[in-house]
Chain A
Amino acid sequence: MPAEVKQEQSPSNQTSLAMMQEPQEVVEETVTIEEDPGTPTSRVSVVTSEDGTTRRTETKVTKMVKTVTTRTVRQVPMGPDGLPLPEGSSPLGSYTDSIDRRYMKNGERFITPQATSTLTRSYNNYSDSYNDTPDSQFRHYGLHDGYGDMPENYGSLSRGVNYRPYRPYMPTGGYRPENSYTLPIRKEDYGHVAQPQVPMGSSTVDLNRSQPERFQPEPYGLEDDRRSLGPDDEEAYDLEPDYSTANRRTLPGRTIREPLRNGPRVRGYEDPIEAELIDERHPYIHGMYPAPLAQPERGSMASLDRMGGRRSPSIDSIRKDPRWRDPDLPEVIAMLGHPIDPVKSNAAAYLQHLCYENDKIKKDVRQLKGIPVLVSLLDHPKAEVHRKACGALRNISYGKDHDNKVAIKSCDGIPALIRLLRKTNDMEVRELITGTLWNLSSYEPLKMVIINHGLQTMTNEVIIPHSGWEHEPNEDSKPRDAEWTTVFKNTSGCLRNVSSDGAEARRRLRECEGLVDALLHALLSAVGKKDMDNKSVENCVCIMRNLSYHVHKEIPGAEKFQDPSALQDPGSAGTQRKKKDDAGCFGGKKAKGRKNGEHDKNYDTLDLPKRTEPTKGFELLYQPEVVRLYLSLLTESQNYNTLEAAAGALQNLSAGQWTWSNYIRATVRKEKGLPILVELLRSDSDKVVRAVAIALRNLSIDRRNKDLIGSYAMRDLVSNLPSGQQRPAKNLEEDTVVAILNTIHEIITDSSENARSLITAQAIDKLVAINRTSQSARETKAASHVLQTVWSYKDLRNGLTKDGWNKTHFQPTATGTPKGSKSCKPGYDDTTLPLMEKNQECLIFHPHCSADGYSTIDQRDKDSKYKSSDGSSDLQEREPLKNDTNRKHYIRSNRPTVSLVDACDVKPQPVDSWV
C-alpha cells in the first residue's frame, strides 16, 4: 500500500501537526463490535483514505464502545474519555483515531512511521495533548505512560502495516488506557488502601506498639515465582507490561508512601502496580478484607497463577475477567503444603497478612487446620519459609483468643519455636520467634510449657548474650552493656509473663542458670547508662520483682535464715517486739552484728561485707546490693511500670521475717531510700503509689524505719486519702486507698509518736469521713481500724477531744464492723497473695503490675497486741535512739522532730530543729 510508504516518509512531528489541523473534518467511522470478551483488545483499524475521508473499521471489545456504532471520527477519541473501560481497549481505538486523523490531516493516507518508534510516538502524543484541545485531557494521560504507548503503537502499526497478533501485547494495550482513565480515581483508591496498610510496615507503628504485626518487608511475589517457574514465561510476559505501565504511572503517588513501607515496596517495581491492579480487578475484595489485601495479594496471586495443577479456573479469569477472585483461605492454607518453597512462603506471608488484627481470620485459619502446617514449616530448612511461617504464627498467636495459642501449643509449636531459636541466627526470625513466645506466654496454661521447653534456651540464646553478662568475666575485657534489642525485649517479656505462674515457675526461673545474673547485669547497665525507661528494663524489673516474691519462703534453705526473734515465740508480743525494736533501733549494722554474734555458726557466711565468694544465681535477688539498684530505678525512671515494679521488688524483699529482709530494710534506710519512696507517694500513677505504700509498710517492720516513715511520710500518705465526699485530684483506686490506710495503720501501731504525726497531718478529718461515708466496705474497715488505733493512745485523747472529736468518731460505724481487730483481718493484705502480674502480649501492652499488696507482717497479731499499749512503751524504746546521734544518716534530725511535735502541733511535718 502506498500508505505504508508514505508513512515511513512522514515525520511524526508532521503527523501530529497535521492532526491538529484536522479537527474540522468529519469522518465517518464504522465500528464493528467484536463480542468476544475473552480477547479484550482487538482493534484492527483499516484505514482507507479517500478524498480526505477515512474509513476505518474498529474492532473493540469494550462494551461501552459497542454502543457507538457510527460516528464522526472526532467523536471517537472523545468517546473513550468518558467511558470507564475495564479492559480499556477503547482508548486504543481513540489512538487509532488520532493516528488516522493525522493521516487525513496531511492529506496523505499513509500510516505514519511513528508507530515503529516508541519515542516518537510519545512525542506525538505529547504534542497532541497540548495542541488538540478537546482531546487534551485524554492525551494527557496518555502522555504519562510514554512507555505504555509503545505497544499500542505497535498495535496501530500493525493495523496499518500488517496485522500482528496482538495477543502478547494485548494486556498492555488493554490496561494502559484504562489506567490512564482511572488514574485519579485510583490514586484516591490507593490512598484509601494504603492507609490501613500503614500499620503493617510502618515504623510509626513500631513505635506505638512494641511489636507490630508488620508485614514482612521481605520481597515476595511475582519475582520469585517467576524465577522459579520458567514455564509460565508467556504469562509473565503477558502481565509484565501491565505492571510496568501502571507502575510508572503510579510512581509519583507512590513516593509518598514509600517511606512507610519496608523493603518490598522499594525493590520490586511491579509490586505497587500489582497492588493497584488488584484493586481494580477486585473491587469487591475490599469489602471483605479491606486494605491489607493489596499487598499480600500479589504474593498469593503469583502463587496461584503458577499453581500448575491446582490452578483454579478463576485464575484464567484473572486475565479475562476483571473480577477474578482472590484465593480463599482454604486455598492459601493448601498452598502452605505446596512443593515449591516460594509458594509456601508466599502463602504464609499472605496468611500473616490476613491475620493481622483480624480475629475472624485467625479463627478460620485455626479451624481449617492451618496452624499445624505453619508449625511444621518452622523446621523448614529454607529461611524464607520458616521466617514467613513464624511471622504468620506470631500474628495468629496474638490476641484474646486463647484457642489460637492452645492450637499452636497442641501441635508442639512451642518446642518447634525453641528449636528454631536455637538454630537460627537471623535476627528477624529470632524476633518473630520470641514475639510469638511472648504472645503465647500470656496464656496461663502455656506458661509452664514454655518454661519446660524454652527457659534455658531463651536464657542462653537471648537473655545472657544481650544482657552483656558473662559467666566467666574475662579480666581484660570490659564489662559489656546490655543491648536493648527487640529480641531481648520480647524474650524478657515472655519471661516476665511466665514468672508470674506461681511458686514452681519462680523456682524454675530462679534456678535457671545465669538468668538472674544476666537480668541483674542488664539492669545495672541500664542504671549506668541512665537508660531506664524502655520496655526491656521494665520487663527485667518485673521479672526480678516476681522472682523476689516469697524468697524468704521459697528459696532452698530459707528456713535457716528465719529471723530467730520471729521464730522464737510468735505468740508472745513482748519478746518479739522487743527484739525487733532492738534490731530496728540499732539499724542494719548493729542488727547484723548482733545476729552474727548470736548465731555465729550459721551466719558466718552471711556477713555481707565479708563475703568471699561472689554471690550468684538467685541469691543475688535478695542481697542488699540490689537495694541500690532498685532505688536508682525509683529515682531515675519515668516509666510507671518500672517504678511500680522496683517498688514492688523492695516490697517483696522487705517482707518476711528472715535475716535477709532485715538487711534489706536496713539497707533501704542506709541508702536513703525512704525519702525516695516517700517522694513517689506523690506520683500520679495509682499503682506506683500503691506499691510504694505497701513497700513502706513492709519497711516499717524495722523500728527505725517506722519512726522515720512516721515522721516523714505521714503527710504524703494522708494527702493521698480522699477527703470527705470528693476524692483527691488523683482519684486513687480503692485498692490504693486501702493500701495507704493499712500502711498508716502499720506505722501508727505501737508508736504514739507516729499517731501524733497522723493527727497533726490532719488525717482525722479524712479518716472519719472515709469511715462514715466511703462506699467501699474495705476502705471503711481500714479507716476504722486506723481510728481505733489512734483512739487507743490515751495520751492523745486529750488533744483529740480539744479538737472536737469524741469517742464515737473513733468507733467503728454502725455498719456492723466488729470492734475487735480480728474483724479487720480481711481488710489487710494477705501475706500470701501471690504477686501476679497480668500477662502481656508481645504486641500490645497492658502493663500492670500486681495490685495485690502483700506484706509479711502479720497484721492481726500486732493489732490486737498493741492496741492496748499506750505511748509510754514507745517512749522508752525510743530512748536509746536519742543517744545514738553519732549515726548521722538515719538518726539525723528525726529526734528533734519528735520533740518538736510534742512541743508544738502546729508545724509538724518538716523536720525542724531548735537550736
Chain B
Amino acid sequence: MSFIPGQPVTAVVQRIEIQKLREGDNLILGFSIGGGIDQDACQNPFSEDKADKGIYVTRVSKGGPAEVAGLRIGDKIMQVNGWDMTMVTHDQARKRLTKKKEDVVRLLITRKSLEETVRQSMMQH
C-alpha cells in the first residue's frame, strides 16, 4: 500500500484493541514495531512499497496480548488511540504505544489480506 505523505490515505482497516499485560512495572503489548519516518523504509520487509515509512508490526510474541487481540506480523499500524501513525518517527510510535497510564490501546491497522478480502467480496457482488 503506497501513499503520498501528506495526502489522504484510503485503506481497508481493522480495529484491534489490545489489553496491556502488566509484568512487574512494565506494561507489555507483546509485539514489536518497525519503521517510522526516520527509518530506512527500504529495509522494511513487510511494506509493498519500499518507500513506505509507516509503522509495521514486525513480530508478535506467542500468546501475548497482541496475538490474542488478533494482531499479526506485517500489519501496518495506521492509528494508535486515534493518533496518526503514518507520519511519525519510530520513537514517537513506540512512545504512543507504551504510555504507562494507558492499559488499553486501540489500533487501526491495515494488512494486505484485508484488502484482498474486501476486493473479493466486492467482486462477488
Binding site for B on A (CB under 8 A): 672, 675, 678-679, 682, 712, 715, 885, 888-889, 891-893, 896, 900, 907, 909-915
Contact = CB atoms under 8 A, between A and B. Distances in A.
B82 to A, nearest CB: 17
Nearest to A713: B40
A630 to B, nearest CB: 20
Task: Tell which of B31, B40, B44, B97 has the most Cβ of chain A within 10 Å.
Answer: B40
A736 B85 CA distance: 39
Contact of A888 (B34, B91, B98): B91
Interface in B31-68: 31-36, 38-40, 42-45, 58-59
A409 B46 CA distance: 64
B33 A912 contact: yes
A915 B43 contact: no
B76 interface: no
B89 A907 contact: no
B31 A915 contact: yes
Contact of B36 (A679, A885, A893, A907): A893
Nearest to B18: A915
B90 interface: yes
Nearest to B38: A892
A675 B90 contact: no
Contacts of B44: 910
A900 B94 CA distance: 14
Candidate in A675, A712, A900, A915 with the most chain B CB atoms within 10 angstroms: A915
A672 B37 CA distance: 11
Given A907-B58, A912-B58, A712 B91 contact: no
B28, B45, B91, B97: which has the most chain A beta carbons within 10 Å?
A: B91
Contacts of B78: none
Tell me the dominant secondary structure on chain A's binding face. Answer: mixed
B29 A911 contact: no
Interface of B: 28-29, 31-36, 38-40, 42-45, 58-59, 89-94, 97-98
B74 to A, nearest CB: 13
A889 B38 CA distance: 9
Contact of B90 (A678, A682, A907, A913): A913
A690 to B, nearest CB: 20
Majority-rule SS of B interface residues: mixed
Task: Enumerate the 4 nearest inter-chain pairs by beta-carbon distance, A residue then B residue, closest first.
Answer: A892-B91, A893-B90, A910-B43, A915-B97
B31 A911 contact: no
A915 B59 contact: no
B97 to A, nearest CB: 4
Contacts of A675: 38-40
30 contacts: A672-B38, A675-B38, A675-B39, A678-B40, A679-B40, A885-B91, A888-B92, A891-B91, A892-B89, A892-B90, A893-B39, A893-B91, A896-B94, A907-B58, A907-B59, A910-B35, A911-B34, A911-B36, A911-B39, A911-B90, A912-B33, A912-B34, A912-B59, A913-B32, A913-B33, A913-B91, A913-B94, A914-B59, A915-B31, A915-B32
A679 B90 CA distance: 18
Contacts of B29: 915
Nearest to A678: B40
A719 to B, nearest CB: 11
Contacts of B32: 900, 912-915
A915 B94 contact: yes
Nearest to A914: B32
B90 to A, nearest CB: 4
Nearest to B89: A892
Nearest to A913: B94
Contacts of A678: 40
A516 B125 CA distance: 69
A900 to B, nearest CB: 7
| B32, B93, B97 interface centre (most CB from chain A within 10 Å) | B32
B33 A712 contact: no
